[in-house]
Amino acid sequence: MKFYQSYYGYEVNRYDIGNKEELNSYVYALSCHYLKKLGQEVSLYVNGRGHEILKPLPYDKVEALPENVEPKAFWAYGKMLSHKQAPLGAVHIDGDVIITKMDTVDYIAEHSKDADLFIQHEEGGYLSSFHFEDEAVAEKMKGELKDICPPEINFKHPKSFHCGLLKLNNQKLKDRYLDVYFSVHEALGKTDFYDNGKKRAWWVPDLVVEQAYLWDIVKYHGYKYAGLFPFTMENADYWCNTIYGYKHFSAHGKYKFIERIRAELRAENRALYEAVLENNIRNGEKGLYKTVYTK
C-alpha cells in the first residue's frame, strides 16, 4: 500500500512550544520507521525548511511543495497541498500517527476498497462547542464566507471526520474537498477573523474546514465512507489511540510523550535515532530552529 506524509516547515510557534520542530523530527521518524518496517512504500511532501528538519528519514520518495506560502491560521495547508499532488487512493497519515501492526495495514486495504473516503474515525458534534468556543465565532466565520459559501456547508457541524488517517478514492470528492478548502483559506485570509480575542481561534478555522466541512461534503453528495475505528469523541482516547497497533499522538499531546517516543525510536532503530539527533544539532548550530537534545 502507498502511504504519504506531509510537513510544511514555517516559523510559527504553535502551542507555545519553542523547539517543536526538533520534537516533530523524532515523532515523524518513529512513524516513518514503522511503516518501512512493515514493508510499506512511504512518500513525503515537504517544502525546503521541512526537508531540512526531516532529511535523515528513510522515505522512498520526497516530493517538493510550493515555497513561500503564508499558512497563517491554516496549519494543515501543507497537508492539503500534498493531497493535491498525491495519487488517488494513497493513504495520508499524520506524522504523529504510529502504525505498528500489519493487521492494521491489511484492515485499511480491505475496508477502504468500496469506499469513496476512508478516515481514522467519525467524531461527534463537538466542533462548534469545543473548538469554536461559542456560537459567536461560528457566526462570524459564516459571515466572512457569505460571498463564497459552498452549498454543502452546514455551520452547525453535527459531526466531523478525524483525518489523522485519510484515503481519498473518488476524484470528484477529492477535487471538491480541495476546492472548498482553498477557497475558504483565501477568503478568511483576507479578513481579521484571527484577531477576535479568542484564545484558540487562530487554529479553529483550519480544523473545521479540514474535518467538519469534509463531513458536510460527503453527506451532501451521498459519498460512501468508512473508518478505522467506530469511535466518537465521547468514547475515543483523543490523545493516544492504542487499539490494533495504531497510536495517534494528536495535536500538542504528542509533546507530552516525547521522551517515550525518543526512547522507542532509539530502541527500534538506533542508526535512525542518531541521524535525527545529529541533523537537529547541525540545524540548531545553523540557527534554523531551536534545539535542546544533545544525546
Q: Which of 65, 60, 92 shows the shortest CA–CA distance to 168?
A: 92
Residue 198 has pLDDT above 50, yes or no: no
Q: Which of 10-14, 101-105, 173-177 has the highest mean pLDDT?
A: 173-177
- pLDDT for 230 equals 67
Determine whether domain 2-285 maps to CATH 2.60.40. Answer: no
Residue 195 has pLDDT above 70, yes or no: no
pTM score, whole prediction = 0.89
- pLDDT for 197 equals 41
Q: Of 171-175, 185-189, 194-198, which range is least confident?
A: 194-198
The predicted model gives 72-100 an average pLDDT of 90
Cα dist from 251 to 97, 219, 240, 269, 272, whole Å:
11, 26, 10, 25, 24
- pLDDT for 286 equals 93
Residue 222 has pLDDT above 70, yes or no: yes
Percent of all residues in the chain with a pLDDT value above 70, rounded to a whole number: 76
- Return the higher-pLDDT residue of 205 and 199: 205
- Return the higher-pLDDT residue of 97 and 184: 97
Tens of pLDDT, residue by residue over 32-57, are: 999 999 999 999 999 999 999 999 99
Q: Give the whole-angstrom CA distance, residue 157 versus residue 153.
A: 8
Residue 23 pLDDT class (50, 70, 90 cuts):
very high
Percent of all residues in the chain with a pLDDT value above 90, rounded to a whole number: 51
Q: Give the whole-angstrom CA distance, residue 174 versus residue 154.
A: 19
Structural domain boundaries of the chain? 2-285
Q: Give the whole-angstrom CA distance, residue 73 versus residue 295.
A: 34
Question: Going along 25-174, which residue ranges are E strands?
Answer: 41-46, 61-64, 91-93, 97-99, 117-123, 160-168
Where do we find the cell 493513504? Answer: 91
Residue 209 has pLDDT above 80, yes or no: no
Tens of pLDDT, residue by residue over 93-147, are: 999 999 999 989 999 999 999 999 999 988 775 444 344 444 565 666 677 777 7
Sorted by sequence, the CB contacts under 8 Å of residue 236 that are 6+ apart come out as: 121, 123, 162, 229
- Return the higher-pLDDT residue of 291 and 271: 271
